[in-house]
Amino acid sequence: MDIKVWMYLVYLAVSIGLTIWVARALSRNGLVFLEEVFADERLARAVNSLLVVGFYLLNLGYVTVAMKHPDPVGSTSEAMEELSLKIGLVLLVLGALHFFNVFALGRYRRGRLRQFATHPPLAPVGRLPMQPTPHGPYPAAPYPTRPLPPTGAPTTTQPTTTPPTGSRPDAGPTNPPPPPR
């Protein structure tokens, strides 16, 4: 037999073996994930079976399409190089399909969990709208409730008086302090 025929036989054996092994491993271990995603064991088993069939169809279809090699293979080293390229591509396709399935099922699960949420999710604290800061010495509404005097004016409502004669100059003002705001 020709070297190219041997290369094809090894390629088919390795690729089909890898596809079957990966499909069984994903089916066995992915069932727990699917039960969490769908919250129904019967539905999870059905989807698991459908995913395995789709996995076989896509991977074996790719293996057979990628088997063709138009150039002649003159040596064993060329056959090994071509074989490693083809098997590497099969492994990349297997990995890409696996990650696509996990991504799609994870999005479905998040959507299902959002439906059962009792309240909408909150925005991150850093993105909440900020209240404008007041530019003056007084806080913004709802305080104060009465008009404020202009800056520099006394804040008491009583008229200021001069201290009576004979009082001590260091005694301080005779007016009571303003009420707290």
Mean pLDDT in order along the chain per 10 residues (181 residues): 84 89 87 83 90 88 84 83 87 85 83 74 63 63 59 58 56 64 68
Give the model's pLDDT for residue 42.
Answer: 92
φ, ψ (nearest 5 deg) of residue 70 = -75, -30
Q: Which amino acid is at 97?
A: L
Contact 143, 181 (CB under 8 A): yes
Angle formed by the axes of helices 76-116 and 41-65, to 10°? 150
Query: How far from the centroid of its chain's Cα atoms is residue 55's Cα?
Result: 26
Give the model's pLDDT for residue 83.
Answer: 86
Give the model's pLDDT for residue 156.
Answer: 58
Which residues, 6 or more positions from 166, have their beta carbon under 8 angstroms from its beta carbon?
none
Question: What number of other Cβ atoms are within 10 A of residue 10's Cβ?
Answer: 15
End-to-end CA distance of the chain: 100
CA dist list (Å): 51 to 11, 28, 48, 60, 174: 24, 12, 5, 14, 89
Q: Which two tokens stand for residue 33?
A: 């994930």
Contact 50, 42 (CB under 8 A): no
Q: What is the pTM of this model?
A: 0.53
Give the model's pLDDT for residue 30.
Answer: 84
